[in-house]
């Protein structure tokens, strides 16, 4: 899914993206289908419906979050996934749709919000290999006690210090679990597991490029107040941190609409 065309890019204390008002309807219209696939494949959905003589609505009631803060959080994480995957498409980065592996619909997926990675030289480790971690925060309604940009920065620091390592180990296990399923694309999954292993064992395979992203999605009505607040940048050695603030008109309406539309597809 390509979404950058719907935004104007800029810089004001940090990198900014502003959803064009004229593109609001078009932007919202493309999201439900892609968000649906972040939770379940069409094949798995059809198997559930057939096996349990169920319906899409019933199955999605067990899969999609219905708690407001979890819907909001998932929405921001998934949008981050597509945003940074497109922004670094020249590096051919990819990563897991980890929301398919949630143990409970109203609990956030564990570890780093988004991880994307790529091996640049035909599967051979090099310094050009890239790993991107993203910490995503949302502010869709007024809350004077919550600073989403600083919260995203603080979370990104945790990613850098420890959470990325834990995330990679968890992802390796999840992909191994996937490889044991009936009709699994085993060879493809083995390649992904090998890529993850490269980043886990960098002392063996060598250095790589690591980029840490902090992104805050903010309702347009709140954006100017949030973007002008001061931020504290962690003094971590080697922290290659980029900070992004994304302005979206009627942000709460968008994520509510997306989750409402998914079961209708």
What's 112-152 look like in SS3? Answer: CCEEEEECCECCECCCCCEEEEEEEEEECCCCCCCCHHHHH
Mean pLDDT for the chain overall:
96
- Other Cβ atoms less than 10 A from the Cβ of 238: the count is 7
pTM listed for this prediction: 0.96
Task: Please state, in angstroms and rounded to a whole number, the distance separating the CA atoms of residues 260 and 66.
Answer: 10
pLDDT at 97 over 90: yes
The confidence score (pLDDT) of residue 8 equals: 98
- Determine the Cα–Cα distance for residues 84 and 4; give it in Å rounded to an integer: 9
17 DSSP β-pair partners: 9, 246
Average the pLDDT over 168-183 and give the result: 96
Query: For the ranges 90-99, 137-146, 221-230, 234-243, which has the lowest average pLDDT?
Result: 234-243
Q: How confident is the model at residue 169 (pLDDT cuts 50, 70, 90)?
A: very high
Edge-to-edge strand ranges of the sheet holding 15-19: 7-11, 15-19, 241-248, 209-219, 130-139, 114-118
**Alpha-carbon span 119 to 126, nearest angstrom:** 8
Cα 261–84–134 angle (5° rounding)?
Answer: 95
> What are the domain boundaries of the chain?
4-264
Q: Is the pLDDT of residue 123 over 80?
A: no
> Each residue of 231-260: pLDDT tens digit?
999 888 889 899 999 999 999 999 999 999
Residue 40 tokens read as: 């379940």
């Amino acid at each position: 899914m390509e979404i950058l065309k719907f935004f104007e890019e800029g810089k004001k204390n940090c990198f900014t993206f502003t959803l064009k008002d004229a593109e609001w309807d078009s932007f919202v219209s493309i999201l439900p289908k892609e968000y649906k696939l972040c939770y379940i494949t069409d094949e798995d959905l059809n198997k559930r419906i057939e096996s349990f003589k169920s319906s899409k609505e019933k199955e999605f009631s067990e899969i999609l979050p219905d708690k407001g803060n979890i819907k909001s959080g998932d929405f921001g994480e998934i949008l981050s996934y597509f945003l940074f995957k497109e922004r670094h498409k020249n590096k051919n980065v990819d990563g897991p749709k980890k929301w398919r592996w949630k143990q409970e619909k109203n609990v956030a997926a564990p570890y780093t919000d988004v991880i994307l990675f790529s091996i640049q030289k035909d599967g051979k480790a090099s310094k050009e290999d890239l790993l991107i971690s993203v910490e995503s925060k949302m502010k869709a309604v007024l809350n004077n006690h919550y600073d989403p940009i600083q919260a995203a920065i603080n979370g990104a620091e945790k990613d850098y210090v420890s959470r990325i390592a834990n995330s990679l180990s968890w992802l390796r296990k999840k992909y191994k679990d996937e490889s044991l399923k009936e009709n699994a694309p085993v060879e493809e999954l083995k390649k992904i597991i090998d890529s993850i292993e490269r980043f886990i064992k960098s002392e063996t395979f060598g250095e790589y490029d690591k980029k840490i992203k902090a992104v805050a999605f903010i309702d347009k009505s709140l954006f100017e107040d949030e973007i002008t607040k001061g931020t504290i940048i962690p003094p971590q050695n080697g922290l290659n941190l980029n900070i992004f603030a994304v302005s979206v008109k009627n942000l709460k309406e968008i994520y509510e609409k997306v989750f409402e539309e998914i079961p209708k597809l």
